Structure 1
Amino acid sequence: METEYSAATVLASRSLQTATYIYTSMATFWTYGYACSFQEEWSFLLRSRWTKVKGLYIVARYIPFLLFTSHLYMNFIPDENPDKCQMINNVCSCFSLISIVCSESFFILRTWALWNNNRIVLVAMLVAFLAVGIASVSVLFTFNGTAPFETNAIPGITGCYQPSDSVELFLPFILLFALELGLIFLTLIRALQSWRTARNPLLTVLLKHNVFYYACGLFFSALNILTSLLLTDAYRNMFQDFQIVILAILATHMHLHLWHADRIIHGSDAVVLIPLSNSSASHNIMVAMPGTAPP
């Protein structure tokens, strides 16, 4: 005799399956990308100087592996204990926060470099970054604790999800959207100021990287806000970690590309100096990239 399930239970089951497919696809994509860039990446790790930014690169590059491992464990291992799902989700949230902090830190340093290491710009960016980080942590762990996880009743469908009434989880993405909007404005303003006078190819690469990174961040933040508000069950969260992983991949690959471009131009691990202006009052700045250190 077949058991009949409610429409809500069937919808929740499909959302869990979709989320599992997305996480599996992301893990495959990340592994494929790592395999394709294995030689270049290890060349960078072995030949570049050990600096704090290089440590930041390593954390940003490999934290998605821990994030995928935790999520795939939660999605594939049969478990009917919502409390255990809550604990694993908290661990995943920590990994996600570490990843997004590292990724954004790269481009905050780059934006600061574009502004000739202006302390006022740096302080403004750090204050905004800290405010967004503290508010996001508060929202994530407060509402994750008050929105308990549920498991699916249909046999063969593993994983767990939060009920549809935990809509407050879209708030961190609104904050991230506002932060990245401010950072892309700073980048565009500096690009317009230096476009006619700067003739350095690495500066062009740096500006393109910043604009593309922030554009992707804005797009995925808007997407996550819409899915959190309009969709239900596991559908609501299916692109959240996707955004974090994509930004981590972009940040690390762009820094790897910039490092190799510098080696091609200079033929060594020399510090990259980019003149942002030809005026006598201007000065060269060092691009905040892994593997370089001031002379």
Structure 2
Amino acid sequence: METKYSADDVAATMSLQISSYIYTSMATFWTYGYVCSLHEEWTFLLLSRWTKVKFLYVVARYVPFFLFTSHLYMNFTPDENPNKCLILDHICSCFSLLSVLCSESFFVLRTYALWNNNRIVLAALLTAFLAAGVTSVGLFFGLSGTVPFQTSPIPGISGCYQPSDSIGFFVPYILLSALELGLISLTLVRALQTWQTANTHLFTVLLKHNIFYYACGLFCSVVNVLASLLLHHAYKAMFQDFQFIILAILATHMHLYLWHMDRHLHGSDALTLIPLSEISYGVVGSSSAGSAESSAVTGSGS
């Protein structure tokens, strides 16, 4: 006798399958991008100095590997235990938050350096950054523990999802959008103030990078908010990690590009010996601020 399933069961099953396809595609895209830039990446890892910025790079670059491993395991391993799904989801959330925090840290440092290491700007940036981060962590882990996971009733379909339409799930993306709007506002204000005296190639590249990064971040945040409000089943969360991965790829590739640009300007032999203040003269109006910005964006400082 055939077993009949409701339309809701079929929709939930399709959402799980599509979610699995999306994560598989993202993992493939990330692996392909890593392989294509393998030579440049290992050149950077072997020749550049170990700094805080380089540590951020390593974390932002390689955390997605663990994120994909955890998610693919959760999506493709048959399991009907909601508690195990909750544990795996918490692990994935930890990797996601760590990735996006490191990615955003690059642009917090860039903005701080663009403002001549202004302590007021730093205090404002850290306050907004920490407020968004702490609130997001509390919402991610607080709400996920109160909403039970569900699995597909159709045999042979693996994966689990949270069916709740709780408003709290998209609040972190609103906070992230607000943070990025603040960063782009500070960047544009500084650009207008120093454009005539800091119209250098590095300044132009930084401005283009920052605006492109913020535009992608805002677009992905809007998509996640709309998906959380309008979609159901696993569709609601399938673009969340997509945003984190895109931001990590953009932040690390932009940083890698700037480092190689600086290496080309100074020469590979002098890479670890010559400070970066020369290429940043005029970027923010003073040589000391320029040196600080170069250290922030390339990780070559002491």
User: Given the two structures, how large is their TM-score scaled by the length of structure 2?
Assistant: 0.93
User: Which residue does the alignment assign to 2:69?
Assistant: 69
Matches within 5 A, 1:25-64: 25-64=25-64
2:290 to 255, 266, 284: 284
8 Å Cα contact 1:57-1:252 kept in structure 2: yes
CA distance in 1, matches of 2:70, 2:158: 14
Say which is worse superposed, 35-44 or 166-175, in terms of deviation.
Answer: 166-175
Confirm whether residue 179 of structure 1 aligns to residue 207 of structure 2: no
8 Å Cα contact 2:113-2:289 kept in structure 1: no
SS in 1 for 2:154: coil
1:275 to 281, 284, 288: 281
8 Å Cα contact 1:276-1:283 kept in structure 2: no
Q: Deviations over 1:85-121 (max 9, x none)?
A: 0000000000111101100001100111111111110
Over 3 Å counting, the alpha-carbon distance change for 1:278 and 1:84 in structure 2 is: closer
8 Å Cα contact 2:198-2:285 kept in structure 1: no
How far did 1:2 drift? 1.9
User: Which residue does the alignment assign to 2:85?
Assistant: 85
8 Å Cα contact 1:51-1:290 kept in structure 2: no
How far did 1:205 drift? 1.1
Structure 2 unaligned blocks of 5 or more: none
User: Which residue does the alignment assign to 1:231?
Assistant: 231
Matches within 5 A, 1:176-255: 176-255=176-255
8 Å Cα contact 1:150-1:160 kept in structure 2: yes
8 Å Cα contact 1:116-1:285 kept in structure 2: no
CA distance in 2, matches of 1:137, 1:284: 34
CA distance in 2, matches of 1:166, 1:86: 16
How far did 1:128 drift? 0.4
CA distance in 2, matches of 1:281, 1:149: 55
Return the letter of the residue paired with 2:253.
H
Over 3 Å counting, the alpha-carbon distance change for 1:248 and 1:220 in structure 2 is: same
Over 3 Å counting, the alpha-carbon distance change for 1:78 and 1:252 in structure 2 is: same
Over 3 Å counting, the alpha-carbon distance change for 1:185 and 1:18 in structure 2 is: same
CA distance in 2, matches of 1:121, 1:271: 25
Over 3 Å counting, the alpha-carbon distance change for 1:245 and 1:74 in structure 2 is: same
SS in 1 for 2:19: helix
Return the letter of the residue paired with 1:187.
T
8 Å Cα contact 2:60-2:248 kept in structure 1: yes
Identity of aligned pairs, percent?
66
Structure 1 unaligned blocks of 5 or more: none
CA distance in 2, matches of 1:246, 1:280: 33
CA distance in 2, matches of 1:279, 1:33: 36
User: Which residue does the alignment assign to 1:116?
Assistant: 116
8 Å Cα contact 2:67-2:92 kept in structure 1: yes
User: Given the two structures, how large is their TM-score scaled by the length of structure 1?
Assistant: 0.96
SS in 2 for 1:113: helix
User: Which residue does the alignment assign to 2:141?
Assistant: 141
Matches within 5 A, 1:143-182: 143-182=143-182
Paired residues in the alignment total 294
CA distance in 2, matches of 1:264, 1:172: 39
Return the letter of the residue paired with 2:301.
A
How far did 1:279 drift? 6.8
Over 3 Å counting, the alpha-carbon distance change for 1:265 and 1:186 in structure 2 is: same
User: Which residue does the alignment assign to 1:103?
Assistant: 103
Return the letter of the residue paired with 2:276.
V
How far did 1:285 drift? 3.7
How far did 1:283 drift? 5.3
Return the letter of the residue paired with 2:159.
G
How far did 1:199 drift? 3.1
Q: Deviations over 1:46-100 (max 9, x none)?
A: 0101111111110110000000000000000000101100000000000111101
SS in 2 for 1:284: helix
Q: Deviations over 1:126-149 (max 9, x none)?
A: 000001111111111111011110
